[in-house]
Amino acid sequence: MPVYAATIEEAFDNAIKVDPALRSSRFNQDANNENIAIARSRLLPQISLQGSTNQLTQTTTQDVPGNSSISKSFTGPSANHQFVIRQGLLRPKDVAALNFAELQSQYAEVRYQSDLSDLWLRVANAWIELVGARQLVVAYEKPLTPLLAAAKQEVAKLNQGDGTKDAAVEAEAQYQIADATFQQALQTFKAKQRTFEILTHIDSKFVQNVKLDLKPRLIFSENDRDRLWSQAREKSFELRFAEIQELLQRERVRMAKADHLPTLDVMAAWNVAKNDATSTQGYRYQNNQIGIQYMIPIYAGGSISATERQAELALQASIADSEAVANRLEGDFRLLWSAWLGQSARVQAGYKLLESSNEQLRATQLSYSHGVKTLMEVANAELVLSRRIADQINAVMEYQKNSARISRVDFKLNF
């Protein structure tokens, strides 16, 4: 994979080109757009040419009084060709069907935009998790060297009679646990690499030069909640789906009611034929016709009224669904905002703990250099710092992923 990227935007741009789910969504959108041409065609002139040419051999026998008959035979070519133009003048159901097709196209467009937003969120999460997983590997690897040195020192002290067995076993266990945690983080990182590369077709080597800021700046404040809620409500794909679905049901009601209404077409036909009937044998003739054709529904066994009632009930269901979606959307946003605020506070507090652990490590190292602390105490301080760095990385990843969920309608996330 020769393509490299360092930002979410670059990864997203490449994912747009290669994601099969988005490609499927685009094809479905194009397919739905064809419904407009199909529906419109019913309102445009319908032109047809049909005919037949045959070799006719016909014998006609006429019975006459006296138990006798008269026979007449004819052999020759028979032909009939007809050219017809039909134009609808009054087609209420076809007009409603065209409106329905246009709404279907709008629904497909919103679906594509929703899938695009989902792709951006997937890319953003994959990017955040990849970068964070790499930082976790580094964080868990760092204390391994001092823990191993401390374990060896405790074993040496035990062999020299200057240490205890429990201290040696404890030091070895600390190292083994830390190494197991590191190995698990390494495997997780490799999995995140593969996930990111499959999603974007981008080589993940860029992650060596990118890091999550462990003290991220706040991209929102508590005062932004109402503004963000208004923006989320205005651009919500779920609400737009519900609104279009309601409009679709209204058009279905119109289509059902249109089955009660008359239709009116104007027709013109040109007919050229010869020898196509017993009365025209040996003749060629041409007919030109122009006129209207109408259809007035009178009774269809009650099916039209039942269809109309069914469409009305489906419309009421869609209206209720729209209300339910609006209520759920507000609840989901409030939960998301609450999670973001909590995560933001946790990240800020976690960074202070990180600073505290750094100070403790420096103090322990200084004491060790003066012979006051042991190597095992230095290793433990390194281990505590490593764990707090890992906690902070995980907290920052969750914070950034929640920020991405809030920002998904604009496809923007500024770290």
Q: What is the pTM of this model?
A: 0.82
Q: Where in the chain do CATH 2.20.200 domains reside?
A: 46-56+73-90+262-296
Largest CA distance in the chain: 147
Task: Please report how the helices 303-369 and 237-258 are oriented relative to each other, as an axis angle in degrees rounded to 10.
Answer: 170
So what's the architecture of 8-43+92-261+306-409 in CATH?
Up-down Bundle (1.20)
Looking at residues 12-27, what average pLDDT do you find? 93
Quickly list DSSP for 229-271.
HHHHHHH-HHHHHHHHHHHHHHHHHHHHHHTTS-EEEEEEEEE
Of 54-68, 159-173, 278-292, highest mean pLDDT: 159-173
Task: Identify the band that residue 72 occupies on the pLDDT scale cut at 50, 70 and 90.
Answer: confident
Of 76-80, 237-241, 281-285, 406-410, highest mean pLDDT: 237-241
For 100-117, the pLDDT digits (tens) are: 999 999 999 999 999 999
Predicted local distance difference test score (pLDDT) of residue 381:
93
Could you tell me which residues come within 8 angstroms of residue 131 by beta carbon, excluding any fewer than 6 positions away?
A: 207, 210, 211, 212
Chain centroid, CA 106 distance in Å = 15
Kindly tell me if the per-residue pLDDT of 1 is higher than 60: no
Question: Domain 46-56+73-90+262-296 classified CATH 2.20.200?
Answer: yes
Tokens of 365: 């190292």
Instruction: Measure Cα distances from 30 to 23, 33, 220, 296 in Å.
Output: 11, 5, 38, 36
Kindly tell me if the per-residue pLDDT of 360 is higher than 90: yes
Task: Identify the band that residue 192 occupies on the pLDDT scale cut at 50, 70 and 90.
Answer: very high
- Mean pLDDT lowest for which of 5-9, 130-134, 160-164, 220-224? 5-9
- Residue 229 near residue 177 (C-beta atoms within 8 A): no
Q: Where in the chain do CATH 1.20.1600.10 domains reside?
A: 8-43+92-261+306-409
Q: Regarding beta strands 284-295 and 68-90, do their DSSP bridges make them parallel or antiparallel, or are they unpaired?
A: unpaired
